[in-house]
Amino acid sequence: MWSESDGERENEIMSTSTSNSEVVRMDERGIACVPGPGQQPTSLQFIKSKGIHVGDQFVSVTQTVHNNEVVKGRLLGLELVSAKSTRQLRCSIAVFVCWVLVVASGLAFFIFHYVLAKKLPLDLDIHEPWYLRRGDWQAMLPYSREFLNLPVKNVLIGHSATEYCDEKYACIRLMLAIQNDHLRRGWDDIGPNFLVSGNGIVFEGRGADVFPVMMVDWNRRSIMIMFLGDYRYDASSIAQFEHVSVLLEELVKKQVLTPDYTVWASCQLSPHTVSPGIKVLERMKLFEHWKQTNVSLCLKS
């Protein structure tokens, strides 16, 4: 605050000024007297002024400069070393990038191999009018698939114990009905690998290398073929056995079956049962690899 004593002091100072000298009064309020034209101050007087420095003053300025490698390393989230360790820095970045590539490659492989690229059943090289693939009979997609550990060495022959069919479109309707029935049973798809109509049309069921469902103890080591009909009463045909024989030869070529595979009637492996029925059993000898063990235990009706 301005007081009367400050005013008296100011008057006293002003009275001491001469024509050839300038007395500049400066206090904490920073009041300055600017000389007139052509005049230079010869003296300065400071009264109760703080923080005043007369003469040169040196100021120390510190600047930290980082090289490019250090900056890049910190951008990558790495607490790397100083500019003197350039080689170590570059090695650390290289190792980090390599690990990123390895992890990314592994993740991409997992996504494409296990998530996107679902394995499909083996397609056989059979292009005959009597061989119908799943798409030809409009099969529904399976709920799931499990694949066999190939090759296997057993072929099981059974029958559907349903109505008989020997006409293409009637058999397609029967195939769809059987698939629906097997899905309701919780089998995820139609049960056998292949099915055969009365006139020898071979239908792709689950497929050549897919785990079948017919006989629990033999599913994992067998290919299963079902004849459409009830062959306790329905007559079998030579065409059925001829076309199935061609199918078995192709399965050997594709290494689904071992060359020394064995053909069985289901009742031979599950004694005192009927499947595939006496009308099929009577012609089992048409299969070159059929083994007659336990055939006497098969029921006729």
What are 104-143's pLDDT values in tens digits? 888 877 666 555 556 788 999 999 999 999 999 999 999 9
The boundaries of every CATH 3.40.80.10 domain in the chain are 131-297
How far from chain centre, in Å, is Cα 295?
A: 49
Stronger pLDDT, 100 or 44, i.e. the higher one? 100
3-state secondary structure of 224: strand
Higher local confidence (pLDDT), 52 or 170: 170
SS3 74: helix
Q: Mean pLDDT across the chain, nearest whole number?
A: 83
pLDDT, tens digit, 9 for 90 and up, residues 174-201? 999 999 999 999 999 999 999 999 999 9
- Asked if residue 162 has pLDDT above 90, the reply is yes
pLDDT tens readout for residues 233-281: 999 999 999 999 999 999 999 999 999 999 999 999 999 999 999 999 9
For 38, left (φ over 0), alpha (ψ -120 to 50), or beta?
A: left
Closest CA to 29 of 54, 3, 49, 8: 49
**Across residues 64-81, what is the average pLDDT?**
55
CATH superfamily of domain region 131-297? Peptidoglycan recognition protein-like (3.40.80.10)
SS3 category, 256: coil
The set of long-range contacts for 127-134, using a CB threshold of 8 Å and a minimum separation of 24, is: 128/243, 128/246, 130/200, 130/201, 130/202, 130/239, 130/243, 131/201, 131/202, 131/204, 131/243, 131/247, 132/172, 132/201, 132/202, 132/203, 132/204, 133/204, 134/204, 134/207
pLDDT given for residue 80 in this prediction: 47
Quote the pTM value. 0.64
36 or 235: whose pLDDT is higher? 235
Dihedral angle computed from the Cα positions of residues 150, 183, 166 and 224, in that order, rounded to the nearest 10 degrees: 20
* Whole-number Å distance between alpha carbons of 272 and 275: 10
Distance CA 252, CA 259 (A): 6
| Cβ neighbours for 255, distance < 8 A, ≥ 6 positions apart | 150, 151
pLDDT of residue 173: 98
The HSE-up count of residue 178 (CA atoms within 13 Å, CB side) is 31
pLDDT at 53: 63
Find, among 156, 135, 161, the residue nearest to 277 by Cα.
161
Q: Give phi and psi for 8, each to the nearest 5.
A: -60, -40
- Three-class SS of residue 110? helix
**Confidence grade of residue 7 (pLDDT, cut at 50, 70, 90):** low
The pLDDT-based confidence of 43 (bands split at 50, 70, 90) is low
Taking only the tens place, the pLDDT of each residue in 18-35 is 444 444 454 545 545 555
> If pLDDT is split at 50, 70 and 90, which confidence band does 13 have?
very low
Structure token digits, residue 73: 């390393």
